Structure formats: C-alpha cells, structure tokens
Amino acid sequence: MKKIKIGAVGLGRLGRRHAENIAFRIPNAELAAVCSIVQEEVDTVKKEWGIPYGYSDFEEMLTNKELDAISICSSSTEHCRQISQALEAGFHVFSEKPLGIGMEEVQLAKQRVKAHQGQIFQLGFMRRFDPSYAYAKQKIDEGYIGKPIMIRCYGVDPISVIDGAIAFAEKSGGLFFDMAIHDFDLSRWLLDSEAKSVYAIGACFQYKEFAAYGDIDNGAAMIQYKNDAMGLFYAGRMCAHGYHIETEVIGTKGSLRIGTVPYKNLVTIANENGVTNECVGGFLERFESAYLNEMQNFVDCIIENRKPDVGVNDGVKSAEIAYAAAESFKAGKIVYLD
C-alpha cells in the first residue's frame, strides 16, 4: 500500500488533531514531518508519536524532498503565504480556511492554486465531509425535497470559549468572516447557486469588547441567490447549551434539518428539569468524523489524481460573501455581489 507522506504545519488544537488523524487514522498516509513556531509542540509530537522530522521553520520543511504533501493549520495570517510557498515547492496542499486575510490575499491564493493545476489543493471546509451533511447533500441531489428554495444556517460558539474569542477578536476578521464563512460555503454547496445580494445586521448585545474592532457578538444575514433561493444566517458567540451548528434546507417538496439538537450522544436524561439531551461542547467533538474524512479525501485525491470537490474557488466565493456581509453590516445597506 502506497502511503502519502505529509508534513503538517501548525500544532494548535485543530492542527494537532489533523496531525493525529494523518498519523494514526488514515491507512494510506504517513505523518512524516511536523512544523510549529512553538518548538516544544514539535518536540512533544515527534517523540510521542515517533515522527521522523520536526521543524520550527516552515520554509525548511519545504526542502524535505521525502514529503508528498503539506497540511496547513497555522495562524490564518500565514495561510496565503504558506499555500503559495508549498505549491511553489511542488507539494500537494491541504489548507485550513480561510485562504487569507482580506480579499487581496484570498485572490492571491486563488491565482497561485490556478498556477499549479497539476497539484492537488483542498480547502478545509470540513462540514461537507461530516456524515450528516454528506447525507443531506445526497438526499437533496436525489430530489428528495424537490428544488431547494431556502436555507437557514446557524453557527454559534459555546459561551465557554468567549474569552478566547475576545482575545482573538482583533485578528479574527469579524463575526461573519470568522464564524459564518462555513455556512456561506454550505449554502452555495447545498443550494447549488451563488449569492446575488447580502444584507446583514447585528450588535454587541453582551460583550462590548468586540466593538473596539468594529465587530459584534451576534449577527444575522439574509442572502438572495442567483436562482432566487433565500438564505437566513445567524452567527453568535454565546450559546448556553454548547456548540450549535444547525442547517435547514427547505425545498419545494419537503425539507430537512441537520443538527437541530446537537446531541452529545444517545443518552437522554429525565429529571426534575424535564427530559433533556446534552449537547456537543465544541467543534472538535461535533466534527470529529468530518476532520478525519476530509483528510482521507485529500489523500485519496492525491493517490487517484483527482480534483477535490472543495477547492480554492469555494474559499474565494465564501470569503466574498463574508466580506459583503461585514460591509453590509457596517454600511447599513444591501451589498450586491459581482
């Protein structure tokens, strides 16, 4: 069995998860190198997992000719540059979203990917690989709910991580770019259409700290798509019951929802409060399978030399919507795309 040798940059919470998946859960992949600006993270992973190479310098890792591919999960500010460099160095590239900070970087990333058509590039819109989302997409494609006419997407972080969100606010790109970009991608994918216009509202309802960066703690957006379909979006940072990612698609013949109750597991508790389902606490818990499946898909695409379903264009289009939403919110007006 041929194994794709991957070098992974970024060993934070999600980066470590990606690395772990590559190392231990993807049969036809091998975690051959890890890289982090935090030397201690590199040392720990190398030793604990027995990884051959460790780097604190990304460009140095790119000189390792044993590697087939690079997996990027560094800080968002590094994405654009690292994508470009890894592609230039001849590697297949998997990158976490976003493609970059600001539409200029995003467009630059797009150009670089286009310039290396022979190399596989996949963007980390992992929700498409979540079993529930994949199942929903299949049902829709089979015509099960008729023609989709509306989508509703919720993306709400648990209140437990509010401190981190505030600390990160300056660099996050704002609520719509940081949180709702996954939902904007889902809407394009599930409706099979592009956004025509965006109108967004919101406020700092509880955490005024976000206002210093022109950001908000809760916001909503309404999008009209080119095929007339409608989109309702809600993003927030203060979910009491856990990590709430919910999507609904209404079609001409029926509808479906994904994650209405984000069950932690199959346990239902009945006590003096009533009958309760506890909920997932965060993205690593909710999308455990999705993170694994997307990396498996990346590796399979390399081996089979086929283009991933989620590529650079999806990153560009979703970023366009996110920036349009931010602009709409700031200007208080409808923003038209294209």
Q: Footprint of a copy of itself on residues 102-161 (CB under 8 A)?
A: 131-132, 135-136, 139, 144-145, 147, 149-150, 152
Distant-in-sequence, close-in-space partners of 53: CB < 8 Å, separation ≥ 6: 7, 32, 33, 34, 46, 61, 64, 66
Q: Residue 205 or residue 213: which is nearer to a copy of itself going by CB?
A: 205
Q: Residue 39 or residue 252: which is nearer to a copy of itself going by CB?
A: 252
The token duo for 40 is 């201690």
Element (H, E) at 299: helix 288-304
Distant-in-sequence, close-in-space partners of 199: CB < 8 Å, separation ≥ 6: 221, 222, 223, 328, 333, 334, 335
Near a copy of itself in 199-218, by CB under 8 A: 199, 201-203, 205-206, 218
Q: Residue 54 or residue 315: which is nearer to a copy of itself going by CB?
A: 54
The yes or no reply on residue 264 touching a copy of itself (CB under 8 A) is yes
The distance of closest approach from Cβ of residue 160 to a copy of itself in the complex, given in angstroms and rounded to an integer, is 10
The piece of 98-106, 165-173, 176-184, 225-233 that touches a copy of itself (CB under 8 A) is 225-233
The yes or no reply on residue 242 touching a copy of itself (CB under 8 A) is yes
Near a copy of itself in 288-317, by CB under 8 A: none
Query: Pick from 177, 172, 169: which is nearest to 198 by CA?
Result: 177
The distance of closest approach from Cβ of residue 314 to a copy of itself in the complex, given in angstroms and rounded to an integer, is 22
User: For residues 198 and 219, is the Cβ–Cβ distance under 8 A?
Assistant: no
The piece of 10-18, 92-100, 109-117, 250-258 that touches a copy of itself (CB under 8 A) is 250-258
Separation between Cα atoms, residue 219 and residue 214, nearest integer Å: 13
Q: How many residues of this chain interact with a copy of itself, rule: CB under 8 A?
A: 74
Residue 265 CB burial class (10 angstroms; 0-12, 13-18, ≥19): exposed
Near a copy of itself in 43-72, by CB under 8 A: 48-50
- Binds a copy of itself by CB under 8 A, chosen from 236, 293, 318, 320: 236
The yes or no reply on residue 37 touching a copy of itself (CB under 8 A) is no
Query: Pick from 337, 300, 317: which is nearest to 109 by CA?
Result: 317
Q: Residue 58 or residue 207: which is nearer to a copy of itself going by CB?
A: 207
Site of tokens 């297949």: 92
The yes or no reply on residue 162 touching a copy of itself (CB under 8 A) is no
User: For residues 238 and 204, is the Cβ–Cβ distance under 8 A?
Assistant: no
